[in-house]
Structure 1
Amino acid sequence: MPYPLDAAAVRSWCGLALEALGRERERIDAINVYPVADGDTGTNLYLTLESAARAVEAAFDGHASAGTAPGLADAIGAMAHGALIGARGNSGTILAQLLRGMTDVLAAGGGTDGTDTATGDRSAEALRRALRRAAASTYEAVAHPVEGTVLTVATAAADAAERAAGEAGDAAAVARAAHEGARTALQETPGQLAVLGRAGVVDAGGCGLVALLGALADALSGEVTATPVAVRADAPLPEAAGCDVAAHTAADACGEPGGPAFEVIYLLEASDEAVARLRTRLDGLGDSLVVVGGDGLWHVHVHVDDAGAAVEAGIEAGRPYRIRITHFGGAGRTKEPALAARAVVAVVPGAGLAGLCTGAGATAVTVRPGEPPASGELVQAIRQAHAREVMLLPNDPELRHTAAAAAEQARTEGVRVAVIPTRAAVQGIAALAVHEPDRSFDEDAVAMTSAAGATRYAELALAERQSWTMAGVCQAGDVLGLIDGDVAVIGSDLTVTAMTVLDRMLSAGGEMVTLVLGAGAPAALAERLERHVRERHLAVDTVVYDGGQRTAPLLIGVE
């Protein structure tokens, strides 16, 4: 019996879609040849939908605590917002836009009092319009749309839904028609996009969309089909194509050489006007540009050679956070990123530190204050490092369990991982400075751990309210100097308090001072502190980095 298109259906859709993408993830990863043959499309789609499903569950929990039930607008809005926040890669970003397009239609048709439900003919018509809007919105989000991709599959699904809506009396029939239309279009993608034809596979992103639409049809019909998605081209390819379809996986079959070296992803708080300028700027820097979102919150994805310039463009447009920079491997894109012997993955609190780590060859995971990364996000960063061995720098004592869980998961996938016990970003900088991939894994881990352990760390922060500390009572607005995690100094002036902290740290000796300036640091702060160290502590060198972190105006390391 068909089910109504309501909040419960959206919740069921999320669960079934997660199951479907969980089954198909590895197969979809294996056929990922466009736009980059980096074997992560299935994983990115799964992680994006996992974030969407968590948001839907949170919406249900929130209404339950208030004694109400979520409506269709609440559930589909939460799903779209969760996907936007957690979007991974090119495919996940497009998926977020597809869901936002559906939300534009479905949320507009009902209230938020828990009673809005699309039924009967209205249900079929609402879903038809939602799928049409979803397909159109993806073309708007992608800077240079390419046929033979998920965009084509989404349009075919909308076309099939259009035809079915006039005949069907419920959304289940429309969803099933959209699923079948997408399956048919997917099998035609190798003939539309040359790189797919040479590899003998269908589009990976389109494959994920077919699984998603199948889950929607199952949720509305109550009939779970779990039909595997065909990933190979139906017709044999000519030998001249240069690929043995039966013997090769997509990852080693005729990928496209050349192209930008980095994938840059971040969330951005900015106005529509600023984002319009950002699109133009990023389009000139690289390719695979996708910008999705609205209402002040955007998800930006681009492939570039200059990762720093892409982040700087975001800073000029608004406030970027959750910045992820991934190196594809080698000088520019290759058909299959070769596994490096060893790589470093570092969690950092600011865009400047992310650029510093990336410049040193590490994969950076940039976090927003109060939003620590989940273990799945760290696992994905480890995968994207494309290395047999990985040194993981959590740079936060609160992330030790998360990092350990991510390392354990990566080990089950054949990656050797060492979690370096860095408790602060400055310890991560010290560890990264001594990293040498040419020495043995164990020796490198010991050297990086020793360098981190030999670095005392401090940060300057502003007290938000009156409270008791180890240094006495502080008032709201006081400057707090924390040494190794404990409040050691309370002051009223940032520069003076920083000098006091430096004096205390250097009283026990030191050879190198590292200063990492936050987003709100005064312009003259670094110069005054450098001069203070030079005059008061002879033979101590000072290095300054623009970290851009919003968690603290100043981070200090003493080696």
Structure 2
Amino acid sequence: MAHDPEPQPADEFDAEAVRTWSSLALSALGRARTDIDAINVYPVADADTGTNLYLTAESAHRALTGALDRTAPAVTEGTAPATLPEAVRAYAHGALIGARGNSGTILAQLLRGVADVLGADPAGRDGGPLLAEALTRAAEEAYQAVAHPVEGTMLTVAGAAARAARAVTGSPADVARAAYEGAREALAGTPGQLAALGRAGVVDAGGCGLVAVLGALWQALSGQAPEPEPVRAPAVPVERIPEPCAQEEGGPGYEVIYLLEGPEEAVDRLRTTLDGLGDSLVVVGGDRLWNVHVHVDDPGAAVEAGVEAGRPYRIRITHFGDERRRASAPRAQRAVVAVVQGEGLAALCAEAGATTVPARPGEPPAVAELLDAVRRAHAREVVLLPGGAELRAAAAAAAEQARADGVRVAVIPTRSAVQGLAALAVHDPEASFDEDVVTMTAAAGATRYGELAVAERQSFTSAGICQAGDVLGLIDGDVALIGAGLPETAEAVLERMLGSGGELVTLVLGPEVPGTLAARLESYVQQRHLAVDTVTYSGGRHSAPLLIGVE
């Protein structure tokens, strides 16, 4: 979880104020996540609204800080730092690509509405009225993004915040405070507007999250912290039922979310198609990139509609019954969570009983995704396998947050998928937690790992200068040799790794590597190292060309 910065009153709403807002909002949602999950009864009582808002905010914060950090070196060179338009556009884009659930998708559109105003050229305009206009645009665009808006929800809270913002004059901090207080008042009234909330005795969960985000905005601009507990009365934790409300009322059984690249006219047709397939339809975005969210009974048809409209990707399909049964079921004693790059490896780890977190080249999972996986594992004890040195900090942060939720977590510092496989192979859920962690750690540490990659450009390496197209042989994370062909380089890497001994070689082949390579390498090992066994797996899509493990 992000640590709250020490906010100072902002003379103007600039890029650094957006960074502070983002950090404070992420921290506020992190603190309130469990409480918001507990009061989630509409549109589906699946107890994940707080988590979805947090995941969305985390994606937005990561994109924003990445954009600001990239411009930081330019300041020392005498050029201009990031501007307010650049910051709000990055913030909104990060929310769009990481939006989760109905509430997260609406939050993404609210931030896009803010960016549509502040992302234009705000120079020379008074900050207070400009922020009020941005909050108004945000509410308008959020209402437009939802196929059938319902009052008593997050939309109602956003609309009230916008009206309150327009009713005051003054600085951006004055406008932000009015929006926050207007949102709090509207949130308190939501049980009287929506029957499902009134019956449960709770306020709207998404609106509760939005109040936290607006409180963070006021704090970022004024330096004054909102009240420790935002107004949520008469909200109380709700006794959960075995199946979600939506299914009791005949609602759809699946949630489908995907990003879509496509033209606006095709997305208009998609909205019509999806509206006929289900409910809770929210389509947000623009400029050929959209986030689509819908509840349906036929998830295949929802995805096919996306294919007709453009290119859907990052497709997530959740069965509400499965989610509810997991939430209401007793916790398992122990689980393993593994970060895995490659669909084949993910399936292999899942077969071994692990909860997997997918990773793609250049797209490592964030803290919130790791925390979400720990939550999905639904266990009292969790062993976390990050699978890469670059993920150690994120894994440690996720573990710290999970411990605050009462879960005992140990992070085994695996640096490669083959080390994770070695750890999983000796995992013993019947052993004590400490004994299991020690055994898994020892197995991972005793596994040397190698990887073959193809150089994309000329560059300096620890083995010399490589050219684009060269095959790089890495051992324990460092480039050990540069070759011209995949088979020859693989054999050379194997020979170096086996030079210090070994009992088992694990080969994980990428999707474009011919199957004959596995047979060649197995034969090579048998001929030169008679006592060494070899096992081969398919890494599947998104995996490296070749991974090698030597135990």
User: CA 1:67–1:390 in 2, change beyond 3 Å: closer, same or farther?
Assistant: same
Q: CA deviation at 1:443?
A: 3.9
Amino acid at match of 2:130: S
Distance 2:522 2:182 in 1: 69
1:102 correspondence with 2:121: no
User: CA 1:152–1:132 in 2, change beyond 3 Å: closer, same or farther?
Assistant: closer
Q: CA deviation at 1:458?
A: 2.0
Q: Which residue of structure 1 lines up, in the alignment, with residue 519 of structure 2?
A: 530
Distance 1:324 1:367 in 2: 14
Amino acid at match of 1:127: A
User: CA 1:171–1:385 in 2, change beyond 3 Å: closer, same or farther?
Assistant: same
1:209 correspondence with 2:214: no
Counterpart of 1:100 in 2: which secondary structure? helix
Amino acid at match of 1:201: V
1:402-421 matched pairs, under 5 angstroms? 402-421=394-413
Q: CA deviation at 1:7?
A: 5.0
Q: Which residue of structure 1 lines up, in the alignment, with residue 88 of structure 2?
A: 76
Aligned residues with identical type, % of pairs = 56
1:130 correspondence with 2:134: no
Amino acid at match of 1:186: L
Contact 2:264 2:286 in 1 (8 A): no
1:250 correspondence with 2:238: yes
Distance 1:280 1:541 in 2: 54
Q: CA deviation at 1:212?
A: 2.4
What is the TM-score with the length of structure 1 in the denominator? 0.73
Q: CA deviation at 1:517?
A: 0.9
**Structure 2 regions of 5+ residues with no counterpart?**
1-8
| Aligned partner (choices 534, 537, 545) of residue 544 of structure 1 | 537
Counterpart of 1:250 in 2: which secondary structure? coil
Q: Which residue of structure 1 lines up, in the alignment, with residue 153 of structure 2?
A: 149
Q: Which residue of structure 2 lines up, in the alignment, with residue 514 of structure 1?
A: 507
Q: CA deviation at 1:172?
A: 6.4
**Structure 1 regions of 5+ residues with no counterpart?**
235-244
Q: Which residue of structure 1 lines up, in the alignment, with residue 58 of structure 2?
A: 47
Counterpart of 1:437 in 2: which secondary structure? coil
Distance 1:467 1:45 in 2: 38
Distance 1:184 1:70 in 2: 35
Distance 2:179 2:538 in 1: 52
Distance 1:453 1:284 in 2: 54
Q: CA deviation at 1:479?
A: 0.9
Q: CA deviation at 1:209?
A: 0.9
User: CA 1:223–1:389 in 2, change beyond 3 Å: closer, same or farther?
Assistant: closer
| Aligned partner (choices 7, 18, 27) of residue 35 of structure 2 | 27
Contact 1:308 1:355 in 2 (8 A): no
Amino acid at match of 1:54: T
User: CA 1:498–1:6 in 2, change beyond 3 Å: closer, same or farther?
Assistant: closer
Amino acid at match of 1:418: A
Distance 2:35 2:114 in 1: 27
Number of residue equivalences: 527
User: CA 1:374–1:60 in 2, change beyond 3 Å: closer, same or farther?
Assistant: same
Distance 2:349 2:270 in 1: 24
User: CA 1:186–1:360 in 2, change beyond 3 Å: closer, same or farther?
Assistant: farther
Distance 2:184 2:302 in 1: 36
Distance 1:125 1:84 in 2: 22
1:344 correspondence with 2:336: yes
Counterpart of 1:40 in 2: which secondary structure? helix
Q: Which residue of structure 2 lines up, in the alignment, with residue 183 of structure 1?
A: 184
| Aligned partner (choices 538, 548, 551) of residue 556 of structure 1 | 548
What is the TM-score with the length of structure 2 in the denominator? 0.74
Q: CA deviation at 1:353?
A: 3.6
CA deviations 1:337-389 (Å, max 9, x no partner) are: 64222122212234444454445543333334445455565344334433211
Q: Which residue of structure 2 lines up, in the alignment, with residue 430 of structure 1?
A: 422
Contact 1:45 1:208 in 2 (8 A): no
